């Protein structure tokens, strides 16, 4: 049910009419509205020069102080001042929707919407609406431009949207504009020491309030970064496009939502569904073919340099090795097998070029038809791999044929890849020719949309690496199932420093707020090419299956490491991949987190807890379990001497009976973790 009403509030004394000529005009308005529960309030006003400004309070305390809205255009006067605030239109909405798959089954979408019409004074009289959706746990706002003669196109040079954080505090962020795109370790600095940051950027204010700045529903726009103008004032910094304009649109058009998740605790940020709620409902209809899956693959072998993607004596993707993986998957209950290096094109310079790739032709030692037939016979999905070297232009010439071939072979998922330095991707320009581009500019956003739509036509789900950032498009296009877009486990395989023990505790409260990540956990093998190897204990590797949500999740290690360690491997076999509920039991950014999730297809619950380099003792009340029911807790915990540096493998596996009345003590080693599976024992109630 949607209730409509109008709300006007009077201007404050400091909000003067436009200087000089405007003396006779009525005083400007302040538009304000609050979330349905009254927690978050947004105000919009114009300053004395008609500059639109918004501010946000939570429980009456300022969160965002007066921050600018507007644009500098490349082919028309800027949209920045001289605006008159019109009467805001306010409505509220409360509905519950169901995810086809996800971290929870149902999501409540309850918000107050305030549309603030802004009209330029003077001859042009251009119109720009700013639409706010205000939730209990934050807000989103976007610009909407009606079609208008005075603004036929919106060619954005600079988006002037600001985020002035009211309180000092700390920020967790990765740098923008660097060569390795999103694959950086998180910085933890004072808010006023942030440089140019990517989003999500998460801050913890001095009062303890948590705020994460990101965006939602970016389909046809450049990705937003944040550049610190001064103090705690940040401005949107759009990723460049192909011309002087970062964004080129024709009116009518809308921008993505600029989002602020605002909560008391770090855990509530993770529980927030704001980004998904701001996206549109599923447009693909029945998506039963999009299947959450656990998968193994011919992958870690290459990262350890035991095998190669390219042809030759070490070629990984051979028919025999593929069949070995398919048989292993079938035997151990995995749904998918990823095989990288199956297709021709890896022999030359593929990194950042991609011209040689065929997405339909296999290497001669990989019998695609036979491997695909074996997969079908075993009931295992053969996950395809389309590394493009960042060359979206080249990929688009072939993707239709590639997806059609996949459909014919019964393949419903592909891992795409865009390995190229920032600014070194390739897209088709307006002239039909390839142009170098940024991974998160508008042309790449458009490329990814073409891929998502072409894949959907052939019932193919996408796991994109080196992707465009996640802005929640999986709600509208559920075949955009997961992606990378951060430093994955692979960094700990290479001959350079890998991911430090705090990395995952950072990811959960930053990158993961955007959406699922294909982090590729489950590494037991002790040797990598990195000096520190894998900086977690084995128990923490297991905890990652619960803590880092991804509907496609890999058991990333070599098969022999699983065969040699059936004890801990059992958790990877048992852990569900599609969830009915998610609860964060505790957590602090970069330090630790404990998450419990309920299986979508049974009454099983799982818990994953992890810490950074510090050992910790955490408590986990089991109140999420069904009251009165008995459960067998299958516990995979760090042994007393476990340590990521010296004894990663020291794990204790034990069982005990628990109920919702129990409170578990979780002892986590340095770089450690704990994973638990709770299996109901009959229906009986304990007396
Ligand atoms: C980088 C991806 O993250 C990795 O998973 C993949 O194996 C390589 N590119 C090759 O495509
Ligand atoms: Ca990568």
- Tokens (6 digits) for 667: 């002892």
The whole-angstrom separation of Cα 585 and Cα 620 is 7
Among the atoms of ligand 1, which is closest to the Cα of residue 488? 3
Collapsing DSSP to helix, strand or coil, 623 comes out as coil
User: Which pLDDT score, from 0 to 100, does residue 495 have?
Assistant: 87
- Tokens (6 digits) for 596: 């419990």
CB 172 within 8 Å of CB 187: yes
- Tokens (6 digits) for 504: 């995952």
Active site residue 490: yes
Strand partners, 611: 592
- In the reported structure, the alpha carbon of residue 465 is separated from the centroid of ligand 1 by a whole-number distance in angstroms of 7
User: Which pLDDT score, from 0 to 100, does residue 687 have?
Assistant: 32
- Tokens (6 digits) for 337: 């097998």
Q: What is the CATH number of domain 288-485?
A: 3.20.20.70
The whole-angstrom separation of Cα 366 and Cα 572 is 28
Among protein residues, the one with the nearest Cα to ligand 1's atom 6 is 417
Among protein residues, the one with the nearest Cα to ligand 1's atom 2 is 465
Question: Considering every ligand atom, which ligand is closest to the CA of 340?
Answer: 1
DSSP secondary structure of 230-282: ETTEEEEEEPP-SSS-SEEEESSEEPPEEEEEEESSHHHHHH--HHHHTSPPP
Count of other CB atoms within 10 angstroms of residue 657 = 11
Among 181, 183, 306, 465, which is best to mutate for testing ligand 1, by the most ligand atoms less than 8 A from CB? Answer: 465
3-state secondary structure 157-192: EEECCEEEECCCEEEEECECCCCCCCCCCCEEEEHH
The CATH class of 489-550+572-687 is: alpha beta
The whole-angstrom separation of Cα 369 and Cα 480 is 26
Instruction: Write the CA distances from 285 to 279, 416, 456, 482, 552, integer angstroms.
Output: 16, 23, 10, 19, 20
The whole-angstrom separation of Cα 395 and Cα 111 is 40
Among the atoms of ligand 1, which is closest to the Cα of residue 387? 11
Among protein residues, the one with the nearest Cα to ligand 1's atom 11 is 387
Q: What is the pTM of this model?
A: 0.95
Of the candidates 167, 490, 502, 504, the residue annotated as catalytic is: 490
3-state secondary structure 441-510: CHHHHHHHHHHHHHHHHCCCEEEEECCCCCCCCCCCCCCEEEECCCCCHHHHCCCCCCCCCCHHHHHCCC
The whole-angstrom separation of Cα 570 and Cα 654 is 12
Among the atoms of ligand 1, which is closest to the Cα of residue 417? 11
CA 181 to chain centre: 15
**DSSP type of residue 21:** G
CB 463 within 8 Å of CB 518: yes
Kindly give, in sequence order, each residue whose CB lies less than 8 Å from that of residue 685, ignoring residues fewer than 6 positions away. 628, 629, 630
- Nearest of 407, 370, 402, 409 to residue 386 by alpha carbon: 402
The residues spanned by each domain of the chain are 13-277, 288-485, 489-550+572-687
CA atoms within 13 A on the CB side of 113: 19
User: Which pLDDT score, from 0 to 100, does residue 683 have?
Assistant: 67
Backbone φ, ψ for residue 477 (5° rounding)? -125, 85
Q: Which residues of the chain carry a pLDDT beneath 50? A: 1-25, 27, 685-687
The whole-angstrom separation of Cα 352 and Cα 133 is 40
Same fold, 288-485 and 489-550+572-687: yes
Among protein residues, the one with the nearest Cα to ligand 1's atom 7 is 299
User: Which pLDDT score, from 0 to 100, does residue 4 have?
Assistant: 33
CATH 3.90.228.20 fits 13-277, yes or no: no
- In the reported structure, the alpha carbon of residue 74 is separated from the centroid of ligand 2 by a whole-number distance in angstroms of 34
Residues lining ligand 1, Cβ inside 6 A: 299, 340, 387, 417, 419, 465, 484, 488, 490
The per-residue pLDDT for range 304-320, each reduced to its tens digit, is 999 999 999 999 999 99
Beta strands in 324-437 (DSSP E): 336-339, 381-387, 413-417, 425-428, 434-437
Count of other CB atoms within 10 angstroms of residue 479 = 26
Strand partners, 129: 117, 144
């Amino acid at each position: 049910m949607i209730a409509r009403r109008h709300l006007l509030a009077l201007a404050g004394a400091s909000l003067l009419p436009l200087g000089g000529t405007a003396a006779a005009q009525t005083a400007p308005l302040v538009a304000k509205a609050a979330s349905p529960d009254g927690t978050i309030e947004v105000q919009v006003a114009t300053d004395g020069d008609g500059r639109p400004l918004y501010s946000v309070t939570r429980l009456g305390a300022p969160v965002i102080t007066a921050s600018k809205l507007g644009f500098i255009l490349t082919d028309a006067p800027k949209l920045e001042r001289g605006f008159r605030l019109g009467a805001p239109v306010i409505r509220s909405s409360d509905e519950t929707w169901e995810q086809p798959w996800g971290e929870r089954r149902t999501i409540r979408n309850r918000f107050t919407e305030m549309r603030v019409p802004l009209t330029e004074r003077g001859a042009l009289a251009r119109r720009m609406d700013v639409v706010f959706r205000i939730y209990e746990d934050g807000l989103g706002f976007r610009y909407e431009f009606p079609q208008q003669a005075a603004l036929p196109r919106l060619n954005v040079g600079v988006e002037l949207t600001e985020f002035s954080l009211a309180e000092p505090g700390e920020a967790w962020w990765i740098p923008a504009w660097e060569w390795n795109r999103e694959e950086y370790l998180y910085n933890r600095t004072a808010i006023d020491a942030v440089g140019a940051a990517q989003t999500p950027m998460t801050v913890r204010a001095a009062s303890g309030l948590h705020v994460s700045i990101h965006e939602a529903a970016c389909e046809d726009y450049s990705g937003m970064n944040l550049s610190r103008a001064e103090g705690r004032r940040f401005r949107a910094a759009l990723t460049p496009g192909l011309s002087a304009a970062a964004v080129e649109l024709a009116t009518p058009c809308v921008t993505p939502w600029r989002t602020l998740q605002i909560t008391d605790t770090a855990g509530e940020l993770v529980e927030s569904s704001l980004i998904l709620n701001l996206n549109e409902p599923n447009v693909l209809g029945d998506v039963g073919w999009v299947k959450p899956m656990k998968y193994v693959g011919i992958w870690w072998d290459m990262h350890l340099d035991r095998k190669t993607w390219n042809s030759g004596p070490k070629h990984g993707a051979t028919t025999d090795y593929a069949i070995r993986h398919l048989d292993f998957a079938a035997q151990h209950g995995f749904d998918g097998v990823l095989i990288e290096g199956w297709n021709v094109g890896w022999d030359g310079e593929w990194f950042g070029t991609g011209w040689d790739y065929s997405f339909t032709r296999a290497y001669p030692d990989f019998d695609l038809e036979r491997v695909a037939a074996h997969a079908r016979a075993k009931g295992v999905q053969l996950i395809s791999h389309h590394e493009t070297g960042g060359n979206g232009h080249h990929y688009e010439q072939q993707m239709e044929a590639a997806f059609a071939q996949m459909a014919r072979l019964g393949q419903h998922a592909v891992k795409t890849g865009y390995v190229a330095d920032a600014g070194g991707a390739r897209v088709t320009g307006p002239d039909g020719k390839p142009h170098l581009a940024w991974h998160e500019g508008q042309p790449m956003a458009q490329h990814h949309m073409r891929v998502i739509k072409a894949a959907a036509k052939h019932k193919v789900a996408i796991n994109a690496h080196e992707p465009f950032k996640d802005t929640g498009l999986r709600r509208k296009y559920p075949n955009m199932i997961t992606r990378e877009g951060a430093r994955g486990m692979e960094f700990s395989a290479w001959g350079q420093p890998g991911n430090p023990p705090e990395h995952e505790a950072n990811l959960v409260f930053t990158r993961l707020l955007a959406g699922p990540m294909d982090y590729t956990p489950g590494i037991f093998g002790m040797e990598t090419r990195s000096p520190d190897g894998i900086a977690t204990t084995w128990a923490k590797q297991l905890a990652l299956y619960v803590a880092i949500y991804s509907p496609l999740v890999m058991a990333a290690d070599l098969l022999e490491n699983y065969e040699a360690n059936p004890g801990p491997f059992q958790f990877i076999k048992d852990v569900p991949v599609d969830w009915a509920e998610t609860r964060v039991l505790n957590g602090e950014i970069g330090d630790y987190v404990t998450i419990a999730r309920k299986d979508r297809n049974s009454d099983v619950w799982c818990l994953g807890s992890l810490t950074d380099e510090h050992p910790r003792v955490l408590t986990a009340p089991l109140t999420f379990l069904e009251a009165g029911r008995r459960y067998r807790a299958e516990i995979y915990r760090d042994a007393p001497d476990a340590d990521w540096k010296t004894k990663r493998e020291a794990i204790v596996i034990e069982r005990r009976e628990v109920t919702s009345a129990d409170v578990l003590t979780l002892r986590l080693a340095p770089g450690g973790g704990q994973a638990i599976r709770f299996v109901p024992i009959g229906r009986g109630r304990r007396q």
